[in-house]
Structure 1
């Protein structure tokens, strides 16, 4: 099991490097690319939700959105549920860019699977789903994370 945690750490590290390379290739940077792909998969969201997803401050997300808007990838619109806030949406150009990024990533993952048995791939998918659920729950719970870190340290 220790090997699995180490392998997942490698996956996270290489995924970060992959995102950086995609961002450089597109001239959008890692955050810009992350924003586009997030909007593709999750739909419209507020700048503050994007800032949390990308891991930047509200001021930084504003400058990122300014650049993406200027490049024609996103548009800001009034939030119909809260007149004080905005929603960020992909433009057709932004959607096409994000879909291309996702398609290349998907192909790379499929190539990485090679001739892996379909049943084994399904089992790995289920295991990864459980890991994602656990990590997502932990990521939403700062007090429990603090407690776990204090117990370990």
Structure 2
């Protein structure tokens, strides 16, 4: 039997996940994107042009999945495919001005949201919360790597 406090904490984390996902889906849809496409636009806008292989590795998805995402993003004007300057076989996924502008706005909105979410916390309470999040991430990583999840 599990500890009821543990179950309550997990339930709260699932609620937070649901709320964050809903928020991301709504904001993405307003830009003509999906939650799956946002990370591609974000990565090429913040880290510079990348090959599809680099994107697939960074996002932990298959090459086929990235190809489909980039096809749609290119069709909708968020990215372009440009020749790689050193590898004739590769192309670089590059943000268009439209894609870069959306990523810049997302960064501003994320900073504003972060401030509104955490600005009224007492510093010690926030530090404790952040340490707790680190412990959860570390524990989940350990469980996943061990194959226990």
Bigger CA radius of gyration: 2
Closer, same or farther: CA 85–40 of 1 in aligned 2, 3 Å:
same
SS at match of 1:28: coil
**Structure 2: runs of 5 or more not aligned:** none
Q: Which has the higher helix share?
A: 1
Of residues 2, 9, 22, the one that matches 2:14 is 9
- C-alpha displacement of 1:25: 0.8
1:1-153 alignment runs, 5 A limit? 2=6, 3-51=8-56, 57-79=62-84, 83-136=88-141, 141=145, 144-145=146-147, 148-149=148-149
The alignment covers a number of residue pairs equal to 144
Q: Aligned-residue CA RMSD in angstroms?
A: 3.1
- C-alpha displacement of 1:18: 1.6
Retained in 2: the 8 A contact 1:20–1:29? yes
Closer, same or farther: CA 137–63 of 1 in aligned 2, 3 Å:
same
**Structure 1: runs of 5 or more not aligned:** none
